[in-house]
Chain A
């Protein structure tokens, strides 16, 4: 079965610094999602990447998909306290129209003012 790994497991950064979170799949990626979760709350969709080399941005968050390496990266520029939370990557392991999404273990981000 497909598994997703994320690195780092946790991250503490000073406000204003840039950071990158990585997601690696054990199998071919057919679609990659990034979600953010505030502690004890539901997940909020950030973006979806479908094609190798695709890059998407939303405000100060940019995500890229490297299909060959079976990896995706999430980059936050000039981090703010509002960026704090748990970032999870998700993927559809069966290429079945994104029916079933499995998630990585998450990366916990803390931003120090």
Chain B
């Protein structure tokens, strides 16, 4: 158990819909990262937050947005969903900047029909 909690574990929705994925980092961790994993794209970095502030941005679509709240949990919002958004979405956390080791949650599997 990494200590990172993601909900929901599985989600099935239709094209055009909007979903929110939630992540609770390990106790005390200030950094939260979001990744998308699909068979054809591999593990892609989306975005990182540190203590509530956006710190780094990767290949995140404009239809996607994220935020980190004062209690350090984070949410990833996916809107106007397309079939290609079906993937495993991972959240990871780390203790401090430069900590190196990321602790990954079990992921949220999104299926868009």
Contact = CB atoms under 8 A, between A and B. Distances in A.
B43 A97 contact: no
Contact of A100 (B2, B45, B103): B45
Interface stretch (A20-28, A42-50, A59-67, A70-78): A42-50
B102 A43 contact: yes
Contacts of B4: 42
Main secondary structure of the interface of B (DSSP, over half): strand
Interface residues of B, number: 28
Interface string A4-37: 0000000000000000000000000001010100
Interface string B90-113: 101000011111111111010000
Contacts of A35: 102, 104
Main secondary structure of the interface of A (DSSP, over half): loop
B8 interface: no
Contacts, number: 64
A102 B45 contact: yes
Contacts of B92: 43
Interface in A66-110: 88, 96-106
Interface of A: 31, 33, 35, 40-45, 48, 88, 96-106
14 contacts: A35-B102, A42-B2, A42-B90, A42-B105, A42-B106, A43-B43, A43-B90, A43-B104, A45-B102, A48-B101, A99-B56, A99-B98, A100-B55, A104-B42
Interface of B: 2, 4, 31, 33, 35, 42-43, 45, 48, 50, 55-56, 58, 88, 90, 92, 97-107, 109
